[in-house]
Amino acid sequence: MTRLLIRIGFLALVLGGGILIGTLTAPGAWYADLSKPVFNPPNWIFGPVWSVLYVLIACVGWRQFEADKSSVTMKLWWVQMGLNFLWSPTFFVLQLPWLALLIILSLLVVIAVFIQKVRRTDRFSMLAFLPYLAWVAFASVLNLSIAVLN
């Protein structure tokens, strides 16, 4: 029963937190008026992509927590989660794309270090974080492009 509660807790934290932050910091008129690169995806794609990624992030989180809640990889997991949740308010609410770029690049580094740390010990976590790494890399280029264009 404890494992089930831990897993539900991680899903609620990550998916619920992501949905809450996404709702509270939804792009508004400021974002709509920005110049965007030609590879900017349609707005509707972000919700489904992040929902899938958040489920994967939650799964990885509970795996690391159940393995050793005080491990380096668990600490890295918490750091990436904090950076992840910090990006949207910085970009959309504070309207600071250059600062948001620093945050997302930091997130990218932490994800890569996490993957490196678990690659030999937890193949599932490594593989589950690869789409996250790819999406955040793409989002970093998108963030940089928007910052440069505006």
Does pLDDT of 1 surpass 90?
Answer: no
**SS3 for 31?**
helix
Q: What is the pLDDT of residues 38-81, one digit of tens each?
A: 999 999 999 999 999 999 999 999 999 999 999 999 999 999 99
0.75 exceeded by pTM:
yes
Distance CA 135, CA 22 (A): 16
Q: Which CATH code of 1.20.1260.100, 1.10.150.530, 3.40.50.1440, 2.30.38.10 fits the domain covering 2-149?
A: 1.20.1260.100
Q: What's the pLDDT band for 144 if we cut at 50, 70, 90? A: very high
Q: Say if CB 14 and CB 61 are below 8 A apart.
A: yes
Does pLDDT of 92 surpass 80?
Answer: yes
Q: What's the pLDDT band for 33 if we cut at 50, 70, 90? A: very high
As given in the structure block, the two tokens for residue 115 are 């993957």
Q: Which of 67, 20, 31, 22 is nearest to 149 (CA)?
A: 31
Average pLDDT, stretch 111-118? 98
